[in-house]
């Protein structure tokens, strides 16, 4: 059996949904599918959680609800790099159905300066992906960008610095010292990014439906908890 990477699976998922109809599947447009956003401390296992959650939802949700896919920072960048995908996303979910995507972006980012263009494009892409539904979006301020969507469920993963360093050492094959430096720098960078562009504190628990300490609640159990909450809402 050939191995299919998360990246390949997600890009195939996006392409398949976009190919269903130029205006999107009727069922999806009438009944918006859920979307989960994941904010996380560096080394808390955001992508691992996203994959586990997708797997749980696909096995447990009602028949006919369709597959799920994880979208992380790298995949958002790949979608933006593909010249055709942003245009197809826009065609799939017209602005009237998004209730004014330009207005939402302006509210989030303010006036569109040239320096804000990459963030604007990322924000618009996340709004479009949220419109598609059945996606778990890791990072990129997705919880703030999709904060107005009633069908969005927002999760933040936290853990002790010790466990996060240990995870990064294993994941990246680096020293404990390097892992600690990476975790601290990445956490600060994420806080700066969210505060600068969206004027909120990423650590504010009121931004989330659920904050999970993965030291106390293992990833697989956390995925089940969130999955059950998502299924119950839909």
Least confident of 21-30, 62-71, 219-228: 21-30
Least confident of 43-52, 63-72, 94-103: 94-103
pTM (2 decimals)? 0.75
pLDDT number for residue 204: 93
> What would the mean pLDDT of 50-61 be, rounded to a whole number?
89
- Of the pLDDT bands very low, low, confident and very high (cuts 50, 70, 90), residue 58 is confident
Helix (H), strand (E), coil (C) string for the chain:
CCCCCHHHHHHHHHHHHHCCCCCCCHHHHHCCCCEEEEEECCCCCHHHHHHHHHHHHHHHCCCCCCCCEEECHHHHHHHHHCCHHHHHHHHHCCCCCCCCHHHHHHHHHCCCCHHHHHHHHHHHHHHHHHHHCCEEEECCCHHHHCCCCCCEEEEEEECCHHHHHHHHHHHHCCCHHHHHHHHHHHHHHHHHHHHHHHCCCCCCHHHCCEEEECCCCCHHHHHHHHHHHHHHHC
| Rounded percentage of the chain residues whose pLDDT exceeds 90 | 36
Higher pLDDT, 129 or 79: 129
């Amino acid at each position: 059996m050939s191995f299919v990477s998360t990246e390949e699976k997600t890009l195939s998922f996006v392409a398949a949904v976009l190919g269903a109809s130029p205006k999107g599947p009727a069922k999806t447009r009438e009944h918006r599918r859920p979307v989960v956003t994941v904010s996380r401390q560096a080394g808390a296992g955001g992508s691992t959680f996203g994959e586990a959650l997708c797997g749980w939802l696909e096995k447990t949700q009602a028949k006919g609800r369709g597959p799920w896919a994880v979208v992380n920072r790298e995949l958002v960048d790949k979608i933006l790099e593909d010249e055709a995908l942003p245009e197809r996303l826009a065609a799939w979910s017209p602005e009237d159905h998004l209730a004014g995507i330009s207005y939402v972006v302006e509210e989030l980012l303010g006036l569109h300066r040239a320096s804000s263009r990459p963030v604007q494009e990322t924000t618009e892409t996340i709004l479009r992906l949220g419109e598609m539904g059945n996606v778990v979006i890791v990072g990129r301020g997705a919880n703030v960008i999709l904060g107005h969507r009633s069908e969005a469920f927002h999760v933040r993963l936290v853990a002790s610095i010790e466990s996060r360093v240990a995870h990064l050492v294993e994941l990246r094959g680096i020293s404990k010292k390097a892992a600690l430096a990476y975790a601290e720098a990445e956490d600060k960078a994420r806080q700066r990014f969210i505060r600068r562009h969206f004027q909120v504190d990423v650590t504010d628990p009121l931004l989330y439906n659920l904050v999970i300490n993965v030291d106390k609640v293992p990833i697989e159990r956390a995925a089940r908890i969130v999955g059950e909450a998502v299924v119950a809402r839909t």
